[in-house]
Chains A and B, each alone.
Chain A
Amino acid sequence: MKIVVCVKQTPDSEAKLTAQNGQPSWGDAPLVINPFDEYAVEGALQQKEAVDASVTALCIGPEAARDALKHALAMGADEAILVSDPALEELDSAGAARILAAAIQKIGDADLVFFGRQTIDNGTGLVPAQVARVLGWPLLSLVGAMTVEGAEIKVERTIEEGKQIARAKLPAVLSIMQSVGEPRYPSFMGIRKAGKATIPVWTLADLGIAAPAQAVWRAELLNPPAHDSHCEIIKADSPEAIAEALVEKILAEKVL
């Protein structure tokens, strides 16, 4: 069985997002593997142990995104592939899905594709569904537990009303919830393996597709309006006088 787990490199979860000149800024936050994707890697590694699967981590990003893949390798993934191309700097979720689907097809023979439930930077949560759509495979979203049974997978989905048990035929795309279990720490053996691993880089030419046209783009990002409040203590000789002054203030401020 072959599992492809898609990961993204994002700012650290403690990073603070601000708008600067209409563009997002994460300050000097360190870049890490998207925290939700760590759960996807954990889920894939649990399946690797349960059904003797191989796990390939896949990422779209610049050269520096290798670090996110190395983290997946250090956790226990067998292989990692980076898709990197200057033409991919601006991608919307549908574009990312097309690229990932092409890479998954190039990897070949995948039975399962795992995603984190969303990324912490853009956070659309759309890519798993869009990849499933491009590949024409079933999507099982918000999965908290799973069992592979022959050519099918049975999952427990976390939905608002409670839990739902669903089944799908393989190959399938899954988005993974935190209830899959805390992501394991990288082992030192994994760290040594990841440190030495050569991670192949695929360009658009390698995938044999053109850069997807951007359908959605972020025109401007605005900071939430700053709340300016001040406190004033009304002083007067009697409670009645204080109440009267308060009423006058409230009326003057047009609160009532």
Chain B
Amino acid sequence: MDFSLSPEQLMAQKMVRDFSQKEIAPIIKDYDRKQEPIPFMLKRMGELGILGICFPVRYGGQGMDYLSLGLACEELEALDTALRVAMSVHTGLCGMTLLQWGTAEQKRRLLTPLASGAKIGCGAFTEPGMGSDVAAMQTSARREGDVYLLNGEKMWISLAGVADYALVTARTDALAQKPSQALSTFLVDLNSPGVTRGNLHGKLGVRAGSTGWIAFQDVQVPLENRLGHEGEGFKITMSAFDHGRYTVASGATGLIRASLVASVAYAHERQAFGKAIGEYQLIQQKIAQMAQDYEVARLLYWQVGWMKNQGQRPTLQTSYAKKFATEASFEAANQAIQIYGAYGFSDEYDPERYLRNSRGAIIYEGSSEIQTLIQAGYALGEREDKPLRCELPAYDETFWQEN
């Protein structure tokens, strides 16, 4: 077993870290306080290639592997969750799903502008009345000749207000016997007539990120923008979550690290009863737990990245990684606040932002409860991975890096 990162992966990791530190760290608190998205964030992440890090060069990407995507997410969320959320929805949910399920023509036409960062994508699955229960989706797509007419509303969609495209799953067969056969997935141009959208405010966390709603009224979606066959939408959506959850897991790992680093620094600096608080065992216990959780979370997402590189489907392993890292990131931030004492309660310091930012990921892209059911399903033998018509291609360095 080789746990070492390649020189390329190390350099990519450092590059993303330097970008976050130099360009985002000085301003993040202001934007988080104002509850405004950082205006240049997506443009810079696109220019630097971060948004397309793991896509083949021939489709506008940077030719790095899938583990590099996780490494980038860890670095981004170690600075702020808003940065990683952009990767989750643009690169994970939208881009990776196109890479897996798109035809060669669709990858050239639709993935290329996304991978190069020229266009921004998002994933639109959740609705006002439905989240975990994907088969209960109400948004409909009715085929009329060479187009589908899309009607319905999607909610809690990251980048809804700024994205050019959304990967949308909708009901195409109202009478399907199995709910899972009723859905189809489309890449929808959000500048089409009939699309309205807006931002949601008052979120607990990720306040420097954009979250919103998208409504579709008789929106014409061309047939060639349907991903996969009609009726494959449930499977495609589950694939999208495999990719999205991987980015959430690796990002949450970065958030654990951020809480750990902040806690260690403060434990050395703050004095109580005549010595640095890091010399007290009760503080050491908190820090040791964060350090251990960071290590476990990192190993779990590295395993997913490795499996993706090998062409294996890591649905179960992604579930472990996502549930563990998101819950541990909440706990790490909570304990970082405890270590900071009263200062931890103030937005002058980072831990309160870490805590607020960590909370959403325990809900979105499959709540911890859904992850538990997935894990129990595999453990009890009630669930197994059947081969998909389109699997995510294994990372092939030559294919990825050829023009």
Contacts and interface: CB of A to CB of B under 8 A. Distances in A.
Contacts of A182: 22
Given A71-B11, A192-B63, A194-B11, A185 B48 contact: yes
Interface residues of B, number: 16
A195 B49 contact: no
Contact of A192 (B8, B19, B48): B8
A134 interface: no
Contact of A194 (B7, B19, B48, B63): B7
Contact of A191 (B11, B18, B19, B22): B11
A239 B53 CA distance: 71
A77 interface: no
Interface string B370-403: 0000000000000000000000000000000100
A74 B15 CA distance: 10
B62 interface: yes
B177 interface: no
B49 A187 contact: yes
Contacts of B64: 188, 191-192
B12 interface: yes
A192 B15 CA distance: 13
Contacts of B19: 185
Contacts, number: 42
Interface string A188-218: 1101101100000000000000000000000
A188 B62 contact: yes
Interface string B1-27: 000001110011001001100100000
B7 A70 contact: yes
A186 interface: yes
Interface in A153-191: 182, 185-189, 191
Interface in A37-72: 67, 70-71
Contacts of B62: 188-189, 192
A175 to B, nearest CB: 24
A202 B8 CA distance: 24
Contact of A195 (B6, B15, B22): B6
Given A192-B63, A195-B6, A185 B15 contact: yes
A192 B53 contact: no
Contacts of B63: 188-189, 192
In the complex, which range does the number of interface residues on chain A fall in?
A: 10 to 19
Contacts of A71: 11
Contacts of A74: 11, 15
A27 to B, nearest CB: 14
A194 B316 CA distance: 35
B193 to A, nearest CB: 37
Nearest to A183: B18
Given A185-B15, A185-B18, A185-B19, A191 B8 contact: yes
Contacts of B49: 187-189
A188 B7 contact: no
A119 B362 CA distance: 47
A74 B62 CA distance: 13
A67 B62 CA distance: 21
Contacts of A187: 48-49
Given A192-B63, A192-B401, A186 B15 contact: yes
A58 to B, nearest CB: 20
Contacts of B6: 195
A188 B18 contact: no
Contacts of B11: 70-71, 74, 186, 191, 194-195
Nearest to B52: A188
Contacts of B53: 188
A186 to B, nearest CB: 5
A70 to B, nearest CB: 6
Nearest to A188: B62
A192 B11 CA distance: 9
B48 A191 contact: no
Contacts of B18: 185
A70 B8 CA distance: 10
B261 to A, nearest CB: 13
Contacts of B48: 185, 187
Q: Quick one: which of B8, B18, B53 has the most chain A CB within 10 A?
A: B8
Nearest to A182: B22
A67 B8 CA distance: 11
Interface of A: 67, 70-71, 74, 182, 185-189, 191-192, 194-195
27 contacts: A67-B7, A70-B7, A70-B11, A71-B11, A74-B11, A74-B15, A185-B15, A185-B18, A185-B48, A186-B11, A186-B15, A187-B48, A187-B49, A188-B49, A188-B53, A188-B63, A188-B64, A189-B63, A191-B8, A191-B11, A192-B8, A192-B63, A192-B64, A194-B7, A195-B6, A195-B8, A195-B11
Given A188-B63, A191-B12, A192-B401, 7 more contacts: A182-B22, A185-B15, A186-B15, A187-B49, A189-B62, A191-B11, A192-B63
Q: Which 5 A-B pairs have the closest CB atoms?
A: A188-B62, A195-B8, A191-B11, A188-B49, A195-B7
